[in-house]
Amino acid sequence: MTRTFTLEYWRDGEWYVGRLREVPGVFSQGKTLNELEDNIRDAYQLMLDDKLPGTPTPVQTKDIGVEV
């Protein structure tokens, strides 16, 4: 099964850095955009392998004020 996620990425010096928008905590980097994509897939897989089957990930939300 293939799931589709949104990769948000940016340049930090010579590196591409990114995260999966829909999966909190899955970040990675790469020297090229293709390397970042491969590394983010690996990071996601490692997160899945680390979870016990059937254990939901607790996600909470909270509204906060940010002065602009």
Q: In this predicted structure, what is the pLDDT of residue 5? A: 92
Question: 65 is in which domain, residue-wise?
Answer: 1-68
CATH number, domain at 59? 3.30.160
Query: How many independent structural domains does the chain possess?
Result: 1
Q: In this predicted structure, what is the pLDDT of residue 58? A: 66
| Model pLDDT for residues 5-62, shown as the tens digit of each residue | 999 999 999 999 999 999 988 999 999 999 999 999 999 999 888 765 665 666 677 8
Question: What CA–CA distance (Å, rounded) separates 35 from 38?
Answer: 5
Please give the biggest Cα pair distance in the chain. Answer: 43
